[in-house]
Amino acid sequence: MASPLVIAVDCSTTAAKAIVVDATGALVGTGAQALDTQTPAPHWFEQHAPDWWAATDGAVQQALGEIDDRSAVAAICVTHQRETFVCLDADEQPIRPAILWMDGRADAEARRYGTQRVELLSGKPADITPGLYKLLWLRDHEPDTMARCHRISDVHTYLTHAMTGRWVSSTASVDPLALIDQATGDYSDELLALAGLHRAQLPDLVPAGTSLGPLRPDVSDRWGLRPDTVVVAGTGDGQAAGLGLAVTDPGAAYLVLGTAVVIGSETTSYLPSRAYRSMISAMPGQTTAETFSSSGTYLPTWFRTEFGDPELAGAPDPRLERDAAALPVGSERLLTLPYWNGAQTPHWNSQASGITLGWQGCHTKAHFYRSLLEGIAFELRMQLDGLEAARGARVDVIRAMGGGARSPLWTQILADVFDRPLEVCASGEVSALGAAAIALTAIGHFDSIPEAAAALARTDTVVEPRVAEAAEYARLRALYQRLYTETHDLLHSLHDLGRHDDTRGEQR
């Protein structure tokens, strides 16, 4: 019997990607369609929800155009950008553009409403990222929007509704909105009341891997698929990345080196902690514990854009990488606190800002660049230590993916700072492979999601830590860990001064 094929869609912040894979994880078709993001005000990030479906439709058709036998496709599963949502009216049309996960407008709401009780229920430390605080912003600043709001739809719900006609989503997909009680796996009446919502405005919840039914006839006809092609409930792109790297138990962790950086690992029960944010896992009975920092590849890209070769427009620069790699550990006594976009795990301080300490006349832009990479690595090691301490379990296996994983310099720095091997997957399809693992399990080809994940995952290289460099980084980390606390008050005063200047400018 021929191996079944499944379609996995990854609707991320920048693009909708679709892959067609067989049961070994081999890609037999790929497609991608870009997504535009609007910034109507500073720190606001929005998208038009219909673009999600248009891009997904285009990516799927492109991927299917590369295969010979579409009748072999048995299922489709979606993974997606998390925390992003759109408000729909009674005609199921967007009332306003969707608000993205990285949108910063709800900082005041996070500080005002992010109580210990809210954090305990949702499993998510107060921050601008969870959808709850943006919903509170809409309640307070756009009451007409909320008065007309018939449905709140995350990206997964929006896409699977377009495929099936049902308003159903996976618990793992909706959970990043911070409306679900981690202890029960159901909507929290307390959190819904805080946001001014009722259950009828939200999708019904099912576990990841549940069949949501067949494709709508018009969709199956357009894609040339069998009418009984099943749509399978997926999960967010972070949880899916863990599956795509076969991170399915507490002894392993996934490291996402994207615009933001994330360390994630599985726990067998909900253990509330500010050392990470808790997400309902795609695997039954488990919780995904994630650290998070918004200054990931954003930082080196920012540096290359502002100080690098203008012809490269922020793209990776082999000469800069080479010059930085030739420098010694510690960038000749430069130490960077990488809070260009505030601090997330474990400080959760949106007013924090970055520092580079130790400047001397001998330093070049290569020193600065390497110090940025080292600073992010120090932050990630601090987050990993906190995650391990809170769970009482050591992580022995770390698997990295994302754009930053393509930098040999950065992956070596990370291996040295972690002082453990770093398994690297350079593929851009890791989250989609996680969705494929869910789909293949749902149609019965594998007995469990962990079994499917192990069969599909790929590692390209293993970067070993170097003994002398790891020891030197350990000494530098001791200084790094003092940097935030010893500059905290000064940076807050600087932030307040800047806010005062902004206010005076508005008055003028």
- Domain limits, the chain: 5-241, 298-383+467-507
Residues 212-224 have a mean pLDDT of 98
How do 168-170 and 204-206 pair as beta strands? parallel
What pLDDT is recorded for position 428? 78
Helix (H, G, I), strand (E, B) or coil at 141: helix
The dihedral sign for the CA sequence 111, 189, 95, 161? positive
* Residue 208 near residue 202, CB atoms below 8 Å: no
Does the pTM exceed 0.85? Answer: yes
What pLDDT is recorded for position 498? 64
Q: What is the pLDDT of residues 9-26, one digit of tens each?
A: 999 999 999 999 999 999
Q: How far apart are CA 302 and CA 1, in angstroms?
A: 51
Res. 502: pLDDT tops 70? no
What pLDDT is recorded for position 507? 41
How do 461-463 and 422-424 pair as beta strands? antiparallel
Q: How far apart are CA 250 and CA 267, in angstroms?
A: 6
What pLDDT is recorded for position 182? 97
Q: What is the pLDDT of residues 368-397, one digit of tens each?
A: 999 999 999 999 999 999 999 999 999 999
Using a 10 angstrom Cβ sphere, with 0-12 exposed, 13-18 middle and 19 or more buried, the burial of residue 438 is: buried
Q: How far apart are CA 381 and CA 77, in angstroms?
A: 33
Residues 66-91 have a mean pLDDT of 97
What pLDDT is recorded for position 311? 87
Q: What is the DSSP letter of 448?
A: S
Q: What is the pLDDT of residues 85-111, one digit of tens each?
A: 999 999 999 999 999 999 999 999 999
Note the CATH architecture for domain 5-241.
2-Layer Sandwich (3.30)
* Residue 376 near residue 296, CB atoms below 8 Å: yes
What pLDDT is recorded for position 380? 98
Res. 259: pLDDT tops 90? no
What pLDDT is recorded for position 479? 96
* Residue 402 near residue 297, CB atoms below 8 Å: yes
* Residue 417 near residue 374, CB atoms below 8 Å: yes
Residues 402-408 have a mean pLDDT of 93
What pLDDT is recorded for position 379? 98
- Tokens 């600087």 correspond to 494
Confidence of residue 493 (pLDDT cuts 50, 70, 90): confident
* Listed ranges 169-178, 297-306, 487-496; the one with the highest mean pLDDT: 169-178
Choice between 497 and 151, residue whose per-residue pLDDT is larger: 151
C-alpha closest to that of 419 among 471, 372, 354, 367: 471
Q: What is the pLDDT of residues 419-463, one digit of tens each?
A: 999 999 967 799 999 999 999 999 999 999 999 999 999 888 999
User: Quick check: bond before 176 cis, omega within 30?
Assistant: no
Average pLDDT in the chain: 94
Q: What is the DSSP letter of 229?
A: P
* Residue 349 near residue 342, CB atoms below 8 Å: yes
Choice between 464 and 458, residue whose per-residue pLDDT is larger: 464
Confidence of residue 499 (pLDDT cuts 50, 70, 90): low
What pLDDT is recorded for position 291? 97
